[in-house]
Amino acid sequence: VAESGARRIRWVADNMMLLGAIAGRFTDEQPFAGKTIGVSIHLEPKTAALLEVLDRGGAQVIATGNLGTTQDDVVVALNESGIRAIGRRDDDPRAHADNLDRVAAEELDLILDNGADLVARRPDVRIIGGTEETTSGANRLRDDLAGHVRFPVIVINDSPLKSIVENQHGVGQSVMESFQRITNLMLPGLRTCVFGYGWCGRGIAQYASRLGARVVVVEPDPIKALEAVMDGFEVREPQDAVDGAKLIVTATGARGVVGPGLVAAIASGAILANAGHFDTEIDVPALDAAAQRREELADGVERLEFAGGHWVRLLTGGRMVNLGGPSPKGNSIEAMDLGFSLQALSLERIATRAGELTVGPQAVPDDINRSLAAMLVAARMAG
């Protein structure tokens, strides 16, 4: 198992050009020498590559994962390479909470947080500062924890680089790849309905269209809808948009976008997939309640049959389609390389120049955005 985890981490790390360059510099400069970083993040090969870079920068790292997504072989590999990683895929919520408590109980200097799970445990702790991966974690810092946090927290997800590289192109590419990988179906001529024309939705619409699909977009915000029109897409109201669609993808950030009411207007056999972060965009519990039968057709594909024989197909149970089915990979290595480089440089900034930062949640410093953008441009143009 460890060998597998180590090999998978190696493949990822060897293809992370930005993080690789940062690792080289960190090895020389040791920005985290003598410091302990507490980490809460999905534990899989791409995050493991990040943890290794922090380790090479002199940090003591202690990390745990999110509920149900920890990859056990990666945990083994991390521990064998001297990075403390705790938790297992099968941990129940209580065991998971214990893991978080164990990390929070350490003498931490820095925190790399996800959903504010660590900060919420010890908001008043005296640490230098931290990073927060998600927007929902940032909201929690601004709402529930407002006034409690006495140190700077750099919010990674708000960086414009992430919107472009990870949300638009990373998700657009991986959703269409996943559709092909899971279903083995053909894209040219495929009538495809995309809900949402935010960063993710426009990436999905764009990649689908370029692969030959005939795309219709649903977007309630009129300015985003106009962008979709100018980009050459048909834009319709939901009931019209799903009429004739054979693939329906949600990427709205909203709940219950596709429920039993709309599904009744969808032709039998159509395929539903969710690309949004939360698995509530397609209202699977409501569909399940309405369905007379639910069966698995293939790895990652279920058939839901309703009264009268009407049926649709659901990919990966309504969870993020690019994380399920056979041999899932998620976003591309380079997309995550950028996001984790934002993490690495933001943690370095906190460790070495915290005095320049304000207290509480804040954006990635602009010079970090700019220098990483320039590094990625150079990496893609090199050769």
341-360 residues in contact with a copy of itself (CB under 8 A) are: none
Tell which one of 189, 255, 292, 353 touches a copy of itself (CB under 8 A).
189
Query: To the nearest whole angstrom, how small is the minimum distance from the Cβ of residue 211 to a copy of itself?
Result: 7
In this chain, which stretch among 60-68, 147-155, 194-202, 218-226 interacts with a copy of itself, using CB under 8 A?
218-226
Q: What is the number of other CB atoms lying within 10 angstroms of the CB of residue 3?
A: 11
- Sequence-distant (6+) residues with CB within 8 A of 345 are 22, 368, 371, 372
Choose between 15 and 36: whose C-beta lies nearer to a copy of itself. Answer: 15
Note whether 218 binds a copy of itself by CB under 8 A: no
Please state, in angstroms and as integers, the Cα–Cα distance from residue 267 to each residue in 115, 119, 209, following that order: 38, 47, 21
Cα 167 vs. chain centroid, distance in angstroms? 8
In this chain, which stretch among 33-41, 50-58, 220-228, 281-289 interacts with a copy of itself, using CB under 8 A?
220-228
Query: To the nearest whole angstrom, how small is the minimum distance from the Cβ of residue 35 to a copy of itself?
Result: 29
Query: To the nearest whole angstrom, how small is the minimum distance from the Cβ of residue 228 to a copy of itself?
Result: 8
Query: To the nearest whole angstrom, how small is the minimum distance from the Cβ of residue 376 to a copy of itself?
Result: 6
Choose between 184 and 358: whose C-beta lies nearer to a copy of itself. Answer: 184
**How would you class 117 by CB atoms within 10 Å of its CB: exposed for 0-12, middle for 13-18, buried for 19 or more?**
buried
Paired residues of 248 in beta bridges: 193, 272
Query: Residues 291-320 vs a copy of itself: string with x where CB under 8 A?
Result: ------xx--x-------------------
Check if the beta carbon of residue 359 is closer than 8 Å to that of residue 149.
yes
Choose between 10 and 88: whose C-beta lies nearer to a copy of itself. Answer: 10
Check if the beta carbon of residue 219 is closer than 8 Å to that of residue 188.
no
Instruction: Return d(Cα 338, Cα 369) in angstroms, integer.
Output: 10
> Which H or E run includes 24?
helix 17-29
Tell which one of 6, 190, 304, 347 touches a copy of itself (CB under 8 A).
190
Instruction: Return d(Cα 220, Cα 158) in angstroms, integer.
Output: 23
Query: To the nearest whole angstrom, how small is the minimum distance from the Cβ of residue 367 to a copy of itself?
Result: 10
Instruction: Return d(Cα 154, Cα 359) in angstroms, integer.
Output: 10
Q: How many residues bind a copy of itself (CB under 8 A)?
A: 74
Tell which one of 15, 81, 135, 136 touches a copy of itself (CB under 8 A).
15
Choose between 86 and 304: whose C-beta lies nearer to a copy of itself. Answer: 304
In 133-249, which residue ranges form alpha helices assigned H by DSSP? 135-142, 160-161, 171-183, 199-210, 222-230, 238-241
Q: How many CA atoms lie within 13 A of 329 on its CB side?
A: 21
Note whether 34 binds a copy of itself by CB under 8 A: no
Q: How many CA atoms lie within 13 A of 241 on its CB side?
A: 24
Note whether 187 binds a copy of itself by CB under 8 A: yes
Tell which one of 332, 341, 343, 362 touches a copy of itself (CB under 8 A).
332
Choose between 14 and 106: whose C-beta lies nearer to a copy of itself. Answer: 14
Residue carrying structure tokens 């005095």: 355
Query: To the nearest whole angstrom, how small is the minimum distance from the Cβ of residue 98 to a copy of itself?
Result: 32
Choose between 52 and 117: whose C-beta lies nearer to a copy of itself. Answer: 52
> Looking only at residues 228 through 287 of this chain, which bind a copy of itself when binding is defined by CB under 8 A?
229-232, 234-236, 243-246, 267
